[in-house]
Amino acid sequence: MLKRLTIFLLILVLAAPTDALAAPLAAPGYSVTVPGGPTFWVHDVVRNESVTIQVIDYPKGDKRYDVQLGRIGNNFDPIGVGQLTGEDGKEFRKTFKIPSRLLNQNLLAIQVYSRTDGSRGYDIFANETGWNTNKLFTLSPVAQSSAQDAGSSVNIFQGPSFWVSNVDVSGSVAQVTLKVTNYDGLDKYRIVVGQNTADFEALPVGLLDNSYPREFRLTFPLPTGIWDEDEIMIRLINTHNGNSGTTAVTIASDWKVITPYGQYTTTYFDLAAQSKAPKTGAPSMRILNVVKDTEVTVQFFNLAPDKDFTVTLGLIGTQGIGGFTVAIQPTGAGGSFIATYPIPAQLKGESLISIRIQSTSSGHYAFDYFANEDGYNAITGGASTVNPDWVLAAGTFPTFEIVSVVKDSKVSITGVNFTKNDTYTVRMGLYGTQGVGGFIAGTIDTGGQNAFSATFDIPPELAGLGIIAIRLESQNSNYYAYNFFYNQ
């Protein structure tokens, strides 16, 4: 009797489902991690009905996350569709219904958001039955060329620059080549294309991840149903915070870069950064870059949120009053953003140009002026006499990433796009301060490189805090960068 029982138990073990003993799920190369929270990716989509996400590494405790759907990029107006809770376990899949007002959109965004600390993860998916994270169109890198590139560049806030360097309509399907520079590989970007209209219903054509170098070209075919449109809009969207840059081209043998209709190159700060911006300051702006007779890139602060502002350019001395209208600019949820506008043909050749942004519904406004010359910006004025090592290319800003943390002890970072042969003071302080006026934790000398890795002691005065702000400030220029980390 004992022998029979032993054999029976052995059979039960052998017959157990194989996945019952399987290792934990590993995130695919393309996934999104909420800071201090779970990792998720799109597992399946039923067009106009539902999206299913796979979740792993859900934190212990009773932490809850809202799940929101919306349009991509600047049009993202989150619609709550459900929640993630610890009751679902550490690894699980969950399905959410696509709201009726998002039906028939080709591309949608999904956001997992914590009301407790504001942390979030932002992903993009195609509204197509059977779509999942691993279904991407193929991008084919092409050889570098020293030939002059055509078109104007687009700078994504804290991201890469890109422009259209070639359009090929010689085959049965049109192909577009982008030139990408200053890509640090730290964030991932979806590449989407669509007809150049204000609605911009787009399709994904590729993904930028850390498999690409800092500077490269890539070529992709335009999806069926889009390539025969006269004007195509191209957008790169940061999959973590929604920051984006947009350009547009005509699809013809004599192709040219054009100003996107109704979708100017607006790159909004992520919502966490917006929440830290001063709420009581007056509207203001700062010129970041100028391409002579072509475009001007501006950083705006403290504009009334969720309003429309008229942007005008005019002769110097007019403060932009009565100037040429170049955009009706929505301000987004936070009222602070970066945008690029075309310089009207009527102002080409002017040495100085006024720019004004004014509310369409109130008396709020801001104005400035800029020199109509390549590379002009408010920091260096363009033709700077300071040490050239302490001046970055127009549209380039220092950024750094948190690599690791030892609670109450040390934090390690990696930085890119810093000024060379410069010294930066490292400060740490309360979350929400951007590190301004924080405790000095050390300095970093960049030497002859724009990038570095370093470790700093966490000041004892901050021991026990859950989240800590960290800031690096140049001792020789106006450049700085800030971030935050979880003290765990």
pLDDT tens-digit profile of 61-99? Answer: 888 999 999 876 545 678 899 999 988 889 999 999 999
Backbone phi, then psi, for 124, in 5-degree steps?
A: -130, 140
From the number of C-beta atoms within 10 Å of its C-beta (0-12, 13-18, 19+), residue 324 rates as middle
User: What are the tens digits of pLDDT across the range 376-393?
Assistant: 877 666 544 456 777 776
Look at residue 269 in the predicted model and tell me its pLDDT.
Answer: 41
What mean pLDDT is reported for the chain? 77
Confidence class for position 144, pLDDT limits 50, 70, 90: very low
**Do 230 and 192 form a contact (C-beta atoms < 8 A)?**
no
Q: Which of 367, 388, 409 is the last residue of a domain?
A: 388
Are 288 and 363 in the same domain?
yes
Residue-level length of the chain: 488
Rounded Cα distance between 179 and 194, Å, is 19
Structure tokens at 414: 């990696």
Neighbours of 478 (CB within 10 A): 10
* 186 vs 216, residue with greater confidence: 216
Neighbours of 348 (CB within 10 A): 12
Of the segments 39-43, 148-152, 256-260, 352-356, which one has the largest average pLDDT value? 39-43
User: What are the tens digits of pLDDT across the range 151-204?
Assistant: 456 656 567 878 888 888 888 888 888 888 888 887 788 888 888 775 556 777
DSSP state of 383: S
Q: Which of 268, 290, 318 is the last residue of a domain?
A: 268
Neighbours of 219 (CB within 10 A): 16
Is the pLDDT score of 17 beyond 50?
A: no
Structure tokens at 44: 């399946």
Lowest mean pLDDT among 8-17, 172-181, 216-225, 424-433: 8-17
Are 166 and 241 in the same domain?
yes
Dump strand ranges (E) for 127-243. 140-141, 154-155, 161-168, 175-181, 189-195, 202-208, 216-221, 231-238
Look at residue 410 in the predicted model and tell me its pLDDT.
Answer: 95
The answer to whether residue 224 sits within a structural domain is: yes
Dump strand ranges (E) for 182-306. 189-195, 202-208, 216-221, 231-238, 244-250, 257-258, 265-268, 284-291, 295-301
The answer to whether residue 132 sits within a structural domain is: no
Q: Which amino acid is at 470?
A: I
The answer to whether residue 18 sits within a structural domain is: no
Is the pLDDT score of 422 beyond 90?
A: no
Lowest mean pLDDT among 79-88, 91-100, 253-262, 402-411: 253-262
**Do 452 and 399 form a contact (C-beta atoms < 8 A)?**
no
Beta strands 365-371 and 399-406 are unpaired
The answer to whether residue 380 sits within a structural domain is: yes
Are 252 and 145 in the same domain?
yes
Q: What is the CATH number of the domain that holds 472?
A: 2.60.40
Look at residue 406 in the predicted model and tell me its pLDDT.
Answer: 95
Q: What is the CATH number of the domain that holds 52?
A: 2.60.40.1930
**Nearest 10 degrees: Cα torsion 14, 18, 22, 25:** -170
Q: Looking at the DSSP assignment, which residues form a beta bridge with residue 366?
A: 357
The answer to whether residue 4 sits within a structural domain is: no
Q: What is the CATH number of the domain that holds 310?
A: 2.60.40.10
The answer to whether residue 47 sits within a structural domain is: yes
Q: Which residues constitute the domain of residue 198?
A: 140-268
The answer to whether residue 19 sits within a structural domain is: no
Q: Which of 359, 388, 417 is the last residue of a domain?
A: 388
Domain tally, the chain: 4
Is the pLDDT score of 6 beyond 90?
A: no
Look at residue 485 in the predicted model and tell me its pLDDT.
Answer: 92
The answer to whether residue 135 sits within a structural domain is: no
